[in-house]
Amino acid sequence: MDQVRPLSVRAERHVLRLRTHFGRSTAVRYLDVLAVALQPKGYRFVRLYRPDEFPIPLPLLWVYAIGPDGHVGIVVSARAVAGGMWAYHEAQRGRFGYLSPCGDAKAAAEQADKLLKHKMYPGNAW
């Protein structure tokens, strides 16, 4: 029984990776929605998912602000998750950088806001 579980876990990871790769247009759409949700907070962003300008396999959204010590930012990706859903992740941390489900861009914007504020002002409790 122990041998079956690792195989199913590896298969699920492979399927999720394939869904993320072939669902590029879905990921781009979710990142556009997140960019709209972040605009009222005053953050700036760069869309790193135009294939002619940025030929990278995973669509990314760089969200940044100008802090007291210079620029501070995070890179967000939209990835396929179990159950046929999509979720926002901090790209640097991969699947461990979960922010929120893609259906809730407002919650993802709040999480990104907290991360950026923590990076800008590390001594404060946000």
pLDDT score, position 14: 85
Work out the percent of the chain whose per-residue pLDDT is above 70: 89
Kindly tell me if the per-residue pLDDT of 84 is higher than 80. yes
Q: Residue ranges of the domains in the chain?
A: 4-120
Q: How many CA atoms lie within 13 A of 93 on its CB side?
A: 11
What is the rounded distance in angstroms from the CA atom of residue 108 to the CA atom of residue 44?
15
What is the rounded distance in angstroms from the CA atom of residue 26 to the CA atom of residue 33?
11
Kindly tell me if the per-residue pLDDT of 76 is higher than 70. yes
More confident residue, 68 or 79: 79
Per the CB < 8 A criterion, the answer to whether 88 and 76 are in contact is yes
What is the rounded distance in angstroms from the CA atom of residue 36 to the CA atom of residue 26?
16
The chain-wide mean pLDDT, for the chain, equals 86
pTM for the structure as a whole: 0.84
pLDDT tens digits, one per residue of 11-63: 888 888 889 889 889 999 999 999 999 999 999 999 988 777 767 788 999 99
**Cβ contacts of 97-104, under 8 Å, gap ≥ 24:** 102/30, 102/33, 102/78
